[in-house]
A and B are shown apart, each in its own frame.
Chain A
Amino acid sequence: MNLTLARIVPLFFSMWLSIQCVFAGESDRALAEQIDQHVDAQLVAAKVSPVATLGDAAFVRRLFLDLTGRVPTRQEWQDFQQREDANKRLLLVDRLLDSPDFAFQLRNELDMMLLARKTHNDAWREYLLAACRENRSWDQLFQEILLPEYKLPDQPGPAAFIRERVQDLDELTNETSSLLFGVNIACAKCHDHPLVYDWEQQHYFGMAMFFKRTYRTRNGLVAERPEGQMKFTNIIEEEKQAEFMFLTGAKVDEPEGNLSKEELKRIEELVRKAEKDGKAELPPLPEFSPRKEFVALAVDSAEANYFTRNIVNRMWARLMGRGLVHPLDQMHSENAASHPELLDALAADFAQHGFDLKRLIRGIVLSEAYQRSSQWSSEELPPAPELYAVAVPRPLSPWQLSLSLLVASRNPETLPGLDKPDDWEQQRQQFESQANGMARRLEIPDDGFQVSAEEALFFNNSAQVENDYLRDSGNRLVGYLKTIEDPESLIHAAFVTVLTRPPSDQELQAMLQYIRAREDRRVESLQQVVWALLASPEFRFNH
């Protein structure tokens, strides 16, 4: 790519400007500025200039999707538009982070990251929601999830992470390692990792040892046995005893047990019964708990690198469309981060500020890097994605899409959203349960996500889409559009409500022509216009 002076000067100017802001006392943008320094430095080194910053409308839509998990209502957008405050983007960020929507959105994201690919679990989701509402710290969540309470009558919500995986030790080991530490060690099960020197068989079995004794009782509690060892055979057929060993190689020694053989036998018998019978006596927990040791080791300052960098990287990837370490579960020495110092800086900041997810998210969305346009109009190929020079269009998650369909298909007059905060939390709660069915039939997007023909057929031909999003009634968008006489205003209202932007001239003309050709079936034509907007890629993606 050619780099002209004209393109690079503004870049330096913006860097200078951001440095000035720090001195001007805007220290609450400090994290964002750090991000931009690192990202900009690499852009300069690669001689690439980033695309322009998003316009207001696109920014508001992106921010609402990321922080509230839904599109903005028309009124929320217009309210932002009318503000004249120079700081209004920052103000909106803080407003959304404090809104009731944020907890719902973070809950849904954590659920999709940790469990929803396997199963839907209401108690777990309730637990996450309560935790997100009080902005519980990530290390606290981690401990609650891996060390759930062991008591009846209720199955504790956080136990689901282990409970749903414990029947398969390999799955529990590898998914804990991938999701919570960014390290996929499955390759090291049968042999030392062929490509990555970091991962040897002993690490795989070392990690598995921490979960080997974990089991679930018939009534859904997660507990541990007093005993359990593992051996593994390496490729030269040597048999080895597995140790309690963390990814970093740090080990835990098991203290000499003080239970007699008979006592151990009795407990094993209780465990067997409790696994089969929900009414059986609960076996006692052993004094030495490998899982407890694991949790202590994983968050201990000397070993916590993986723990903090993983969640920072996952949060970054969710908001930026690509991890600093990519793929997300390949955090090892052969796969360096695109911006190693930035990852270190974000991880350090995260750990210093009490593992506060909200602070981290805030820092990222306030950065220039986050606020870049997703449009690339040059004939040349776009720059490498790890430069973050242009935003990647991200498919909406099942929850984002399902909730956005509900919000966008409402009568905008009767749905002020956050502009009427008293009613809003309850309304949001209602949307959340209405969104459930649709969210669960959609796929959670991965890298290289593709829309299925099934989805397109569903949007085209299912009665559910017609009933839920296109109904002609007073509190729905179609019902509202029907009351607008002037076709141009009507089309304008439909675009702003669904896509948070006015129509282009070409779009306006096409829609006008469409409606005018169907004056004998006006309501149907309005349904079809709304359908075209809801089924557009512009609605399907966060861009």
Chain B
Amino acid sequence: MTDSHFCGSPEHRISRRGWLGTTAAAGTALAADMTFLDVLQSPALASELQTRQKRVILLWLAGGASQFETWDPKPGRPTGGPFAKIQTSVPGIEISELMPKMSTRLHQHTSLIRSLNTRIADHGTAYNLMLTGRVGEPGVDFPDMGAVLAHELGQIDSEVPDYVSMYTSTEGRRKGKAGFLGARYNPMFLTDQMTPENIGKLDSISSVDHRDRAALRQLLAKRFSSDRPSPSVASHNTAYERVRGLMASEKLFDIDQEPRSVRNAYGPTQFGEQCLIARRLVEAGVPFVKVARAWWDSHGQNFETHLELCADLDHCMSALLDDLQQRGMLEDTLVITLGEFGRTPNINGSLGRDHFARAWSCSLSGCGIKPGTVYGKTDEDGNTVVDGEIGAGDLFATIFKALGIDYHKEYMLGSRPIPIADFGAKPVEEILA
């Protein structure tokens, strides 16, 4: 018999072996494990193992944050608004005074992109664009960034979730989707509570019975799958086999397990607590976590909105980067700070800024990024990109490359190849380490 209820494809067998190798206790155990040596002999697999350790946290600014009040200030211009700019720890780079904590950390972790031109400025379509890296087409259900990265960085039988999605406030609430990658890569979505649905057992069954009952199911499953070599049947068993590990990861969502000092560093806001959960998750091996902070859609009172939201973002993002660095994890963890678009240079009659996708900013920190760099430039009023214009596909290619993933890689959808970064996308080499 082959690997019992695995689908039997050679790929999965290798991935599983690779996984057993990497998790079979660190250090000496690895060298003793012959299967692991096997894996290292193949260059393709060695690089597979390298990307394995990479993690991503997406801080999603739902509704669209203003580039003027964050990474690309234009004080003194008619479009600039009331806030000043401040010098950062990198000579010559200035950001909004609403981001003081990040200004002192720029040289350590972070690169800014000030030249996104993504054209689409309605929430729904832009959300899909910025989370799938392409405009999309009817009839093809593209997976989002989380599902692709879970697929690329995770393991098929992972004991921890590989795509976790959280949000603050209902407006930011979009679950994310695995599209044609299939339900295996669906996000574990935190709805109204801070822990995922159905991750803890019911009180009506004891732990022992819960475990033994699963063994009973397993017995039936084994008999059924042993002579049915079907990947779908195998996925049923994989899903059930993951349950114990996923249930054990319930504690990852419990921030009471963190020392007081760490909790204080992140602060008491929901966004801060979710950033801390995100750190706990990636530390335990979860490859992709999305924390959505809402709601930045400041059609009215843009400046008051940003005064409040930027303070939270600045504090939590800094605390997260500090924490990751202190734990030696930042080298392998990419933190992406991004929304669906930016906001208009024009300040409307309600002191708001509207949707704007022609010249806006985002930031990348940590893994694979050259810290203290700025890429691209907008004109003095922020109306257009004058240097280094890039689109969503290019941003995705940059993210993939930073993580050591070949951005030319293709998924086959039936007979049709679909590159993981959109056709013609190029990474921004200037900000890559």
Binding site for B on A (CB under 8 A): 168, 170-171, 173-175, 178, 184, 186-187, 189, 195, 327, 329-330, 335, 374-377, 381-382, 392-393, 395, 443, 445-458, 460-463, 466, 504, 506-507, 510-511, 514, 518, 524-525, 528-529, 531-533, 535-538, 540-541, 543
Task: Provide the residues of chain B in CB contact with A454, threshold 8 Å.
Answer: 183, 186, 188, 197-198
Q: Which residue of A lies closest to B201 (CB)?
A: A461
Task: Provide the residues of chain B in CB contact with A524, threshold 8 Å.
Answer: 204-205, 209
Whether the pair A541, B220 counts as a contact (CB closer than 8 A) is no
Whether the pair A186, B183 counts as a contact (CB closer than 8 A) is no
Query: In the complex, given contacts A168-B138, A457-B199, A466-B204, what are 13 additional A-B residue pairs having Cβ atoms less than 8 angstroms apart?
Result: A175-B138, A175-B139, A184-B139, A330-B414, A375-B227, A382-B229, A450-B231, A450-B232, A461-B247, A504-B223, A531-B213, A535-B217, A538-B220
Q: Which residue of B lies closest to A543 (CB)?
A: B228
Stretch of B33-41, B46-54, B236-244, B392-400 lying at the A interface = B236-244
Assuming the contacts A449-B183, A453-B246, asked whether A174 and B139 have C-beta atoms less than 8 A apart, the reply is: yes
Binding site for A on B (CB under 8 A): 137-140, 161, 180, 182-184, 186, 188, 196-202, 204-205, 209-210, 212-214, 216-217, 219-221, 223-225, 227-233, 235-240, 242-243, 246-247, 414-416
Interface pairs (6), CB distance under 8 Å: A186-B139, A189-B137, A377-B227, A448-B232, A450-B182, A450-B184
Cβ contact of A528, chosen from B183, B216, B227, B233, cutoff 8 A: B216
Cβ contact of B216, chosen from A195, A374, A457, A532, cutoff 8 A: A532
Q: Which residue of A lies closest to B414 (CB)?
A: A327
Task: Provide the residues of chain B in CB contact with A392, threshold 8 Å.
Answer: 230
Report the bound CA distance from A330 to B139 in whole Å.
12
Whether the pair B239, A456 counts as a contact (CB closer than 8 A) is yes
The 3 closest A-B pairs by CB, nearest first: A452-B183, A450-B235, A456-B239
Whether the pair A186, B236 counts as a contact (CB closer than 8 A) is no
Whether the pair B186, A452 counts as a contact (CB closer than 8 A) is yes
Task: Provide the residues of chain A in CB contact with B198, threshold 8 Å.
Answer: 454, 457-458, 460-462
Report the bound CA distance from A373 to B140 in whole Å.
33
Whether the pair B243, A457 counts as a contact (CB closer than 8 A) is yes
Report the bound CA distance from A393 to B235 in whole Å.
12
Assuming the contacts A170-B138, A454-B186, asked whether A528 and B230 have C-beta atoms less than 8 A apart, the reply is: no
Task: Provide the residues of chain B in CB contact with A377, threshold 8 Å.
Answer: 227
- Nearest Cβ in chain B — how far from A188, in angstroms? 11
Q: Which residue of A lies closest to B212 (CB)?
A: A514
Task: Provide the residues of chain B in CB contact with A187, threshold 8 Å.
Answer: 416
Task: Provide the residues of chain A in CB contact with B212, threshold 8 Å.
Answer: 514, 528
Q: Which residue of A lies closest to B244 (CB)?
A: A460
Report the bound CA distance from A524 to B204 in whole Å.
9
- Nearest Cβ in chain A — how far from B151, in angstroms? 11
Task: Provide the residues of chain B in CB contact with A528, threshold 8 Å.
Answer: 205, 209, 212-213, 216
Assuming the contacts A184-B139, A330-B414, A452-B183, asked whether A510 and B232 have C-beta atoms less than 8 A apart, the reply is: no
- Nearest Cβ in chain B — how far from A509, in angstroms? 10
Task: Provide the residues of chain A in CB contact with B221, threshold 8 Å.
Answer: 536-538
Report the bound CA distance from A135 to B227 in whole Å.
38
- Nearest Cβ in chain A — how far from B191, in angstroms? 12
- Nearest Cβ in chain A — how far from B205, in angstroms? 7
- Nearest Cβ in chain B — how far from A470, in angstroms? 10
- Nearest Cβ in chain A — how far from B184, in angstroms? 4
Report the bound CA distance from A529 to B217 in whole Å.
8
Whether the pair B138, A510 counts as a contact (CB closer than 8 A) is no
Whether the pair B183, A443 counts as a contact (CB closer than 8 A) is yes
Assuming the contacts A184-B139, A461-B201, asked whether A393 and B228 have C-beta atoms less than 8 A apart, the reply is: yes
Report the bound CA distance from A452 to B204 in whole Å.
24
Cβ contact of A532, chosen from B188, B196, B202, B220, cutoff 8 A: B220
Task: Provide the residues of chain B in CB contact with A511, threshold 8 Å.
Answer: 216
Whether the pair A452, B239 counts as a contact (CB closer than 8 A) is yes
Q: Which residue of B lies closest to A517 (CB)?
A: B212
Task: Provide the residues of chain B in CB contact with A170, threshold 8 Å.
Answer: 137-138
Task: Provide the residues of chain B in CB contact with A446, threshold 8 Å.
Answer: 180, 182
Report the bound CA distance from A455 to B201 in whole Å.
14
Task: Provide the residues of chain B in CB contact with A510, threshold 8 Å.
Answer: 216, 219
Q: Which residue of B lies closest to A330 (CB)?
A: B414
- Nearest Cβ in chain B — how far from A342, in angstroms? 21
Whether the pair A507, B220 counts as a contact (CB closer than 8 A) is yes
Assuming the contacts A448-B182, A452-B186, asked whether A463 and B202 have C-beta atoms less than 8 A apart, the reply is: yes
Report the bound CA distance from A531 to B212 in whole Å.
12
Task: Provide the residues of chain B in CB contact with A504, threshold 8 Å.
Answer: 223
Report the bound CA distance from A103 to B199 in whole Å.
38
Whether the pair A395, B232 counts as a contact (CB closer than 8 A) is yes
Report the bound CA distance from A507 to B202 in whole Å.
26
Task: Provide the residues of chain B in CB contact with A506, threshold 8 Å.
Answer: 219, 223
Assuming the contacts A184-B139, A456-B240, asked whether A451 and B224 have C-beta atoms less than 8 A apart, the reply is: no
Q: Which residue of B lies closest to A385 (CB)?
A: B230
Task: Provide the residues of chain B in CB contact with A329, threshold 8 Å.
Answer: 139
Task: Provide the residues of chain A in CB contact with B238, threshold 8 Å.
Answer: 451
Whether the pair B232, A374 counts as a contact (CB closer than 8 A) is no
- Nearest Cβ in chain B — how far from A133, in angstroms? 32
- Nearest Cβ in chain A — how far from B183, in angstroms? 4
Assuming the contacts A393-B228, A536-B220, A541-B232, asked whether A466 and B202 have C-beta atoms less than 8 A apart, the reply is: yes
Q: Which residue of B lies closest to A518 (CB)?
A: B209
Q: Which residue of A lies closest to B210 (CB)?
A: A460
Task: Provide the residues of chain A in CB contact with B236, threshold 8 Å.
Answer: 451, 456, 537, 540-541
Task: Provide the residues of chain A in CB contact with B209, threshold 8 Å.
Answer: 518, 524-525, 528
Task: Provide the residues of chain B in CB contact with A463, threshold 8 Å.
Answer: 202
Assuming the contacts A462-B198, A540-B236, asked whether A532 and B217 have C-beta atoms less than 8 A apart, the reply is: yes
Task: Provide the residues of chain B in CB contact with A173, threshold 8 Å.
Answer: 138
Task: Provide the residues of chain B in CB contact with A445, threshold 8 Å.
Answer: 232
Assuming the contacts A376-B228, A452-B183, A541-B233, asked whether A533 and B239 have C-beta atoms less than 8 A apart, the reply is: no
- Nearest Cβ in chain A — how far from B284, in angstroms? 16
Task: Provide the residues of chain B in CB contact with A455, threshold 8 Å.
Answer: 183, 239
Task: Provide the residues of chain A in CB contact with B186, threshold 8 Å.
Answer: 452-454
Whether the pair A449, B182 counts as a contact (CB closer than 8 A) is yes
Cβ contact of B225, chosen from A450, A457, A537, cutoff 8 A: A537
Report the bound CA distance from A536 to B240 in whole Å.
10
Report the bound CA distance from A187 to B137 in whole Å.
9
Report the bound CA distance from A455 to B186 in whole Å.
11
Report the bound CA distance from A178 to B216 in whole Å.
43
Task: Provide the residues of chain A in CB contact with B201, threshold 8 Å.
Answer: 460-461
Task: Provide the residues of chain A in CB contact with B197, threshold 8 Å.
Answer: 454, 457-458, 462
Task: Provide the residues of chain A in CB contact with B235, threshold 8 Å.
Answer: 449-451
- Nearest Cβ in chain B — how far from A448, in angstroms? 6
- Nearest Cβ in chain A — how far from B206, in angstroms? 9
Whether the pair B230, A393 counts as a contact (CB closer than 8 A) is yes
- Nearest Cβ in chain A — how far from B422, in angstroms? 13
